[in-house]
Amino acid sequence: MKKKVGSFFHHLLLIILVVIWLIPILWLVVTAFSGYPGINKTHFFPETWTISNFTTLFLKPDSVVQYGRWFSNTLIIAIFTCIISTVFVLMVSYAFSCMRFKGRKTLMSLSLILNMFPGVLSMIAVYFVLKSLGLTNSHLGMIIVYSAGSGLGYLIVKGFMDTVPVSLREAARLEGASELQIFTKIMLPICKPIIVYQVINSFLLPWGDFVFAKLMLNSGISKDYTVAIGLYNMLDRSLVNQYFSIFCAGGFIVSIPISILFIIMQKFYVEGVTGGSVKG
Amino acid sequence: MKDNTNKKERFSFVGYFKDLVTAIAKGDWSVKLSMLFMGAGYTFHKQVIKGILVTIIEIAFIMMCIFYAAPNLAKFGTLGTVQFEQVLDPLTLQTTVNDYDNSFTILLNSIIALFLIVCFVFFWISNMKSVYRLQVIDNAPDSLLKKRINTFIEDINSLFSEKFHLTLLALPTLGVILMNIIPIFVMIAIAFTNYDQSHMPPNALFTWVGFANFKNILANSMTVTFGYAFKKILGWTLLWAVLATLTTFIFGVLLAMFINSRTTKWPKMWRTLFIVAIAVPQFVTLLLVRYFFGDTGIVNSICSNLGVTEFLKSVGLVSQHLNYIPFLSSEHWAKFMIVMINIWVGVPYQMLIATGVLMNIPGDQIESAKIDGANKFQTFVSITMPYVLFIQGPSLITDFVKNINNFNVIYLLTNNSFITPDQALANSNAKEVDLLVTWLFRLTNEYYNYKMASVIGIIVFIISAVFTILSFTRMIAGDREGDYQ
């Protein structure tokens, strides 16, 4: 009996915690269906329900809302960022994990130090470099911003490659395989799970990034925005009372694919942060 | 043996220049000629194509120096002297612009030029060494062991076998140079100039001012309040980083243990529910939460209906003239709420990690503790916690550094909604709830005060670097990389 009571309170506490954690998400979902465009200040659930917020998003683009455009902009940027950064990270990881060369450790330390510089600091200089190349407010500029420095984020993938037995590579070398062949034919297939992690991770970056996009996409033309900037813009003081529930609808839609990808990715996240030392 | 490889993988300055001196001293005439004509050594040691390629690079570099580096570096000392001028011709109604100097372009180009020059020096040194190596191979006495000089095709092939790392690292390095290294140098340089709103190219010039900005950040006078603002914000940044790291870590571990406990039914489901909360992009949830807790937001109307607002007023936690709870608009409430909301954001992450760590606690230790009569609390304090801390220690320091630079939580929660009542802070465009990075962002993005922003950026870097070096050895020492191989 005592055990049952304990179990009841145990689960009650869990339910309370989960409710606390999910309330904002619930608010997002219900407000997305709200018939009142502004912020509902007195009721949690909307008084009138409608799906017009979603139709506005996709079917009635105006000078503020260009959701379809934002979505395709972000998608294009995300796909290219994902390809380039995954390739970069894999190349750097293989070089640092599987090859031994002069200055390897020095390069690794250097890259760690470089990673320490807050991105916000060098961002202004990046902005001017891209501006002088005429790449602000363009897809290419954003892709460069997100993927050019991605080689520095090699630690997790390298950690994974470090766990692959060296005997595999040595056997291949004895058979006369070149490093290129070992890389593409042996390492890449083994690293599939961590490649999935890397792909999802770099794909998610442009969807969630706020800082760089705000700086680079400064034309003020709604068509050029990514989803994050477009949605943020709706909450401008002069717009929020007309667009708040549309903001929620947009946030809800973009959250669905991202949540799914995130949940797929989260199991790799653990290994990444603890640097594989979990196994030790 | 292990030590030996380690030494090779680290860069040694003495060895680096010693090799160069030997190459120059013992090289034959063609090696010595390579000091001027870089292709000479290769050409006379049977590597003609390589010789030609190297010479082309040398010529390109010299052209770069003449047409790009020299004109920019000449103005580097002053960052330009010719002011932008526009003249409207009254007859043709056309404006003509004079041949003005753009300080920023000069600074940027000079740094790129300097960078190229340094790269070329390294290239030149490595060229001398490899030419000398060729000479040694070429002059070795004939024997079975004598190495043959590679043909050009073999050299290309080696880029995909034993020198594959060069191929692999080339493009990512170029990206990092473009996106990280050059911008960092530019920003460091700007910290020593007077680049701000009243010195904006192309309409105005800016110039070097030495350490004036660094003095400014410590100064405190009627007009310059950066010193005051900096002290306040630095204090809050550090306090925030400590609080944010510790609270999320402790609650994350507790939550993980709670869900892991045997009493819990369907632990996976509970975990996924918490993860859903962080799977939604932060900019969406944080902006929502900001309105949730707004001065006229829904939480406030619920609180006033329930009489919570009145109660807090009578206790003195809310000042008398307000009829709402200033969750995100008064200093102490906002700081408290930011830490609480950050718990909401951060705990699921920590819970995930802690779950992974807890599953690997050696079971026999807990068993033997039980046999020895330890209760749950004792096993937690003396076995579970030390184990978790041992594994997660380094990542806690990384989290600390990440929190120092935690832009999203602070900016999205307080931008546009928090207005500082402190005139001295407002003078330097700061707010009580700002971190150094959000202050930096506002200084550049809204006030174009690049010089002070750069100084703050350098300070943030130094703070981050110090803490990283603490965890540095464990993260990179590579002690673990051999474990599985």
Q: What is the pLDDT of residues B108-137, one digit of tens each?
A: 899 999 999 999 999 999 888 888 888 888
For the stretch B68-93, pLDDT in tens is 888 888 888 888 888 888 777 777 77
For the stretch A33-84, pLDDT in tens is 888 887 777 778 888 888 888 888 888 777 778 888 889 999 999 999 999 9
Cα distances from A207 to residues A11, A79, A212, A272, B116, in angstroms, run: 35, 11, 12, 21, 35
From the list B307, B328, B304, B309, the residue with the least C-alpha distance to B319 is B309
Residue A2 domain-assigned? no
Structure tokens belonging to residue B278:
């962080």
pLDDT-above-70 percentage for chain B: 93
**CA of A131 to nearest chain B CA: how many angstroms apart?**
11
CA B92 remoteness from chain centre: 52
Give residue B485's pLDDT band: very low, low, confident or very high (50, 70, 90): very low
Supply the pLDDT for residue B113: 93
Instruction: Tell me, yes or no, if B460 comes closer than 8 A to chain A by beta carbon.
Output: yes
For the stretch B289-345, pLDDT in tens is 888 888 888 888 888 888 888 788 887 777 777 778 888 888 888 899 999 999 998
Structure tokens belonging to residue A34:
């709200």
pLDDT above 70: residue B145: no
CA Rg value for chain A: 24
Contact A271 B356 (CB under 8 A): yes
Specify the higher pLDDT residue, B21 or B473.
B21
E strand spans, chain A:
none
For residues B50 and B270, give the distance between their C-alpha atoms in angstroms, rounded to a whole number.
Answer: 64
Supply the pLDDT for residue B268: 82
From the list B269, B292, B420, the residue with the least C-alpha distance to B344 is B292
pLDDT above 80: residue B1: no
Specify the higher pLDDT residue, A57 or A3.
A57
Give me the long-range contacts of A55-60 (CB less than 8 A, separation at least 24): A56/A246, A56/A249, A57/A246, A57/A249, A57/A250, A57/A253
Phi/psi for B96 (5° steps) reads -115, 140
Fold observed for domain B220-293+328-476: MetI-like fold (1.10.3720)
Supply the mean pLDDT for chain B. 82
Supply the pLDDT for residue A277: 42
Helix, strand, or coil here: B97? strand
Q: Which residues of A touch B464 (CB under 8 A)?
A: 116-118
Give residue B11's pLDDT band: very low, low, confident or very high (50, 70, 90): low
Provide the CATH number for the domain around residue A172.
Answer: 1.10.3720.10
For residues B242 and B407, give the distance between their C-alpha atoms in angstroms, rounded to a whole number.
Answer: 15
Please name the residues between 114 and 153 in chain A that touch chain B, using a CB distance below 8 Å.
114, 116-118, 120-126, 128-129, 132, 144-145, 147-152
Specify the higher pLDDT residue, B220 or B200.
B200
pLDDT above 80: residue B400: yes
For the stretch A88-140, pLDDT in tens is 999 999 999 888 888 888 888 888 778 776 677 677 788 878 887 888 888 89
Supply the pLDDT for residue A118: 67
Number of domains forming the structure of chain A: 1
Q: What is the mean pLDDT of residues B227-234?
A: 89
Of B276, B291, B460, the CB nearest to A121: B460
Q: Which residues of A touch B286 (CB under 8 A)?
A: none
Among A116, A129, A227, A245, the residue to mutate for chain B (most B Cβ within 10 A): A116
Structure tokens belonging to residue A263:
């949940």
Q: What is the mean pLDDT of residues A248-255?
A: 90
Q: Which residues of A touch B394 (CB under 8 A)?
A: 275
Domain boundaries, chain B: 2-199, 220-293+328-476
Helix, strand, or coil here: B360? coil
Bridge partners of residue A34, in order along the sequence: A49
Specify the higher pLDDT residue, A268 or B345.
B345
Residue A82 domain-assigned? yes
Residue A247 domain-assigned? yes
Please name the residues between 47 and 86 in chain A that touch chain B, using a CB distance below 8 Å.
none
Q: Residue B298, CB half-sphere, CA atoms under 13 Å: how many?
A: 18
From the list B55, B63, B64, the residue with the least C-alpha distance to B127 is B55
Q: Are A30 and A44 in contact (CB under 8 A)?
A: yes
Residue A12 domain-assigned? no
Give residue B33's pLDDT band: very low, low, confident or very high (50, 70, 90): confident
Residue A159 domain-assigned? yes
pLDDT above 50: residue B188: yes
pLDDT above 80: residue A244: yes
For the stretch A199-235, pLDDT in tens is 988 898 888 888 888 888 887 788 888 888 888 888 8
Supply the pLDDT for residue B144: 63
Supply the pLDDT for residue B483: 44
Axis crossing angle, helix B48-64 with helix B103-139, rounded to the nearest 10: 160
Residue A42 domain-assigned? yes
Q: What is the mean pLDDT of residues B345-362?
A: 82
pLDDT above 60: residue B479: no
Structure tokens belonging to residue A142:
């954003």
Instruction: Tell me, yes or no, if B263 comes closer than 8 A to chain A by beta carbon.
Output: yes
Structure tokens belonging to residue B73:
């570096």
Owning domain of residue A60: 29-279
Supply the pLDDT for residue B155: 82
Burial of A100 (0-12, 13-18, 19+ CB in 10 A): exposed
For residues B213 and B307, give the distance between their C-alpha atoms in angstroms, rounded to a whole number.
Answer: 51
Q: What is the mean pLDDT of residues B249-261?
A: 87
Of A121, A255, A274, the CB nearest to B461: A121
Contact B484 A164 (CB under 8 A): yes
Contact A148 B176 (CB under 8 A): yes
Supply the pLDDT for residue A99: 85
Among B111, B125, B165, B405, the residue to mutate for chain A (most A Cβ within 10 A): B165
Q: Residue B212, CB half-sphere, CA atoms under 13 Å: how many?
A: 11
Supply the pLDDT for residue B237: 93
Residue A17 domain-assigned? no
Supply the pLDDT for residue A173: 86
